[in-house]
Amino acid sequence: AQSVTQLDSHVSVSEGTPVLLRCNYSSSYSPSLFWYVQHPNKGLQLLLKYTSAATLVKGINGFEAEFKKSETSFHLTKPSAHMSDAAEYFCVVSDHSGGGADGLTFGKGTHLIIQP
Amino acid sequence: DGGITQSPKYLFRKEGQNVTLSCEQNLNHDAMYWYRQDPGQGLRLIYYSQIVNDFQKGDIAEGYSVSREKKESFPLTVTSAQKNPTAFYLCASSVRHAYNSPLHFGNGTRLTVT
């Protein structure tokens, strides 16, 4: 079985300061992990994915995430927040063991607020 | 540009009516998916299709139906049997149905049933 927990439902940072969005997962197998971003009334857009290659994954718009197997974490970071980063972020885990019928388990999302 | 087109963006229906949401992709992807999103929740899978003329129920299929007659099209019908149909519906596709294959999403249809 697999599961994913986004540890914060809301995160607020000031523009120009670092962003940290936390995601913990559980998986019986070597998982694939994804971060998606969703702006209001839009679909989800892939930020980055981990599929057992390098543990530090670089994504679009300056975001990156580090896969830490010992901590079962896949936290999303960005060195300097921009106003356009304000959105909902979803962590997703996928392996062979199940999750939903599509093999995916979505986190409940973290709402990122950027203060001017 | 390749992508997924969902239409309409907003849809209003009276209770008891069936309604069909359109989803078209020109990415040449084999797999397509329908998700439902409610406030404060993650996405929940309604139906998915790995290949033309084949589809499987997701986690919340009751009250919904789909068809996959063409590779590029995967319409979703919300029937009157769906008890709480008001939601944001997202269509997605992937190159293939595989655990490491990322999803590409459309911009969604917001359905309101009164």
Which residues on A lie below 8 Å from B99 (Cβ)? Answer: 32, 94-96, 103-104
Provide the b/e sequence for A82-101 (b: ≥16 CB within 10 Å). eeebbbbbbbbbbbeeebbb
Mutation target vs A (from B11, B24, B43; most A CBs, 10 A cutoff): B43
Mean pLDDT of B31-38: 95
Q: Does B102 touch chain A (CB under 8 A)?
A: yes
More confident residue, A80 or A103: A80
Residue B2 has what pLDDT? 72
> Which is it for strands A19-21 and A73-78: parallel, antiparallel or unpaired?
antiparallel
Q: If pLDDT is split at 50, 70 and 90, which confidence band does A101 have?
A: low
Segment B88-100, tens digit of pLDDT: 999 999 988 777 7
- CB contact at 8 A, A36 and A96: no
Residue A97 has what pLDDT? 58
Residue A54 has what pLDDT? 85
CA dist A62 → A19, A80, B89 (Å):
11, 8, 29
Q: How far is A113 from chain B (nearest CA, A)?
A: 15
Segment A5-24, tens digit of pLDDT: 999 999 999 999 999 999 99
Q: If pLDDT is split at 50, 70 and 90, which confidence band does A35 have?
A: very high
**Partner residue opposite A101 with nearest CB, options B58, B105, B108:** B58
Rounded-to-integer distance, Cα A79 and Cα B69, Å: 46
